[in-house]
A and B are shown apart, each in its own frame.
Chain A
Amino acid sequence: MFIIGELINGMYAGIGKAIQNKDKAAIQECALKQVACGADALDINCGPASRKPLEDMPWLVETVQEVTDKTLCLDASKPLVIEAGLKAAKNKAMINSTTADSDKLNTLIPLALKYGSSLIGLTISAKGIPQNKDQRLELAAEIIAACSEKGFPIENLYLDPILMPVNVAQAQMKDILESIHEFKLMADPSPKTIVGLSNVSQGTSSRSLINRTFLAMSIAYGLDSAILDPLDGQLMDALITAELIMSKNIYCASYLDAYRKK
């Protein structure tokens, strides 16, 4: 599982304030904590309150890469903000994200190619959020086709089935899980699959339990990557155990420690 830590996001009060005050130490501490807990990459998002995202994004990238060389997942809705982050990034980067809309695809795929980054593709479009599996597969096909056409390597594409909160779209959960499996069959080499995990529990009473249960189930459906809170120890234990059950790692009595030592 490629684990992307979600905590460097201006939406969180502490981070929002740190961005505003240009408090490097607070950002770097948040980065290092997530890496220590098993993050392979770090999501970087200035948050909705940022008034100068074109400055804040590269500042965040520079701040974080002073303390870690992990992949940075540049999270913004505006391509210009993403490019500002890509320009500043010294190490591997991911674009988070494109939708299946042609204007987005036409802008972001060339950016990913230019900077050698991977790309998260959300199966969503201007028409709205997909309501079932078929709509997700259709949007995924459009993203894959655009990537192939532009010569973007499909194995660097991370398809996101758009995870809905379970209390809003309970009937869609099974479709989402099946989409994860079916995305993998849509091209050879397969695209990767990803979810923004915390969405599933938005507004619910048992966020951590719902997050880790959904993660374990989606690992059984072949999920490759998730944007999540690596500081949630029980979530990470569930992740490691689900991967063990899928025989991704060899069991031993200390398998949780062994995974964390990697």
Chain B
Amino acid sequence: MVLQPVIEKWPAAVSAVTIGAVKSEGGSRVQAIHIGGQNTLPLLFKEGQIPNPPKIAFEVWDMAPSEWPDELLRAWGKVINDPFKWAECCVKEHKAELICVKLQSFHPDYGNKDAAGAGKFIKELLRQMDVPLIITGCGDDAKDNQIIPVVSEAAKGERCLIGSAVQENYKTLVASVLADGHNIIAESPIDVNIAKQLNILISDIGLGLERIVMNPTIGALGYGLEYAYSIMERARLAALSGDKTLASPFICFSGQEAWRAKEAKLSAECGTIWETITSSVLIQAGADILVMRHPAAAAKVARHINNLFGRT
């Protein structure tokens, strides 16, 4: 007997988001990155269109991340002390097409730099490299409310992805991003109800749902990865069924979470394996951007994506 495959068709699609503006659009990026736009669940190529494979963003800090595990510090070497060289190394040596810079040095507990310097830093970073940029604040709400408006203005016209808006702190960030033509990261604590609510709050200010990328928050392998998967799956099923308020692409900080696992620090290889597996599973869950830390893990996941999408 020949079994007929069950082909599911969905009435709606994930919104397509563009990160980076090229010269003709008023920016200075060598190319723009497109994410989202799929009208089916992850990797079900026969059920619909998946126009954009998941993208890897290399995580770069504006200060040396001295607390990172030794293997990460070793992998990057000296460049880790200079964010411009670090970003350059990502692009030139590791073919990064997207950089995610974290403005850690402005955090009250990590240098507490004056907010005014953030604009100058981002301008210089944009001058020195030409791939699209994701910018995240230091994670301290009060300080982020100072630095993000400065950074957003400095990067005006470059259509960055800027974050992170959270339920308790989104108004200042969204207003800046809206004014300067960027996209926003909406971050929720592994909670689909809050993810939906935050998207509504952001769109109520006037930033279109098609300019939001959701950070659902994830756990690494062994640390809640399945739970993160189930939340992402639920949001995506709702999106494909027509819930526009959940139809944003996902950004997942898989590097950050994987390297927090104690198993990642067991040996030189373990961390890379942990980051690779965590990221690979998140592709199955529907991640559109993976923010990664170890270049070897990023290379493995990039190869995996190419295999999945039938490219060599």
Contact = CB atoms under 8 A, between A and B. Distances in A.
Interface of A: 249-254, 257-258, 261-262
Given A250-B193, A250-B196, A252-B196, A262 B242 contact: yes
Nearest to A253: B197
B244 A254 contact: no
B200 A250 contact: no
Which interface residue of B201, B234, B245, B246 has the most chain A CB atoms within 10 A? B245
Interface string B178-208: 0000000000000011101100110000000
Contacts of A257: 200
B238 interface: yes
Interface residues of B, number: 15
A253 B188 CA distance: 14
Counting chain B CB atoms within 10 Å of each CB, the highest count among A251, A254, A258 belongs to A258
A252 B195 CA distance: 8
Contacts of B177: none
Given A250-B238, A252-B197, 13 more contacts: A249-B243, A250-B192, A250-B196, A250-B235, A250-B243, A252-B196, A258-B196, A258-B200, A258-B245, A261-B244, A261-B245, A262-B242, A262-B243
**Interface SS of chain A: helix, strand, loop or mixed?**
loop
Contacts of A251: 193, 196
Contacts of A249: 238, 243
A66 B303 CA distance: 54
20 contacts: A249-B243, A250-B192, A250-B193, A250-B196, A250-B234, A250-B246, A252-B194, A252-B196, A252-B197, A252-B200, A252-B245, A253-B193, A253-B197, A254-B200, A254-B201, A257-B200, A258-B196, A261-B244, A262-B242, A262-B243
Contacts of B246: 250
Contacts of B197: 252-254
B168 to A, nearest CB: 13
* Complex A-B, nearest 5 residue pairs according to Cβ-Cβ distance, in ascending order: A252-B196, A252-B197, A253-B197, A252-B193, A250-B238
A258 B202 CA distance: 12
A57 B273 CA distance: 69
Interface in B227-241: 234-235, 238
A216 B196 CA distance: 24
A253 B244 CA distance: 16
Nearest to B245: A258
A251 B243 CA distance: 11
Contacts of B238: 249-250
Contacts of A258: 196, 200, 243, 245
Contacts of B235: 250
B61 to A, nearest CB: 33
A250 B197 CA distance: 10
A249 B245 CA distance: 11
A6 to B, nearest CB: 24
B244 A262 contact: yes
Q: Which of A249, A250, A258 has the most CB of B within 10 A?
A: A250
A258 B196 CA distance: 9
B83 to A, nearest CB: 37
A189 to B, nearest CB: 14
B158 to A, nearest CB: 30
A40 to B, nearest CB: 12
Contacts of A250: 192-193, 196, 234-235, 238, 243, 246
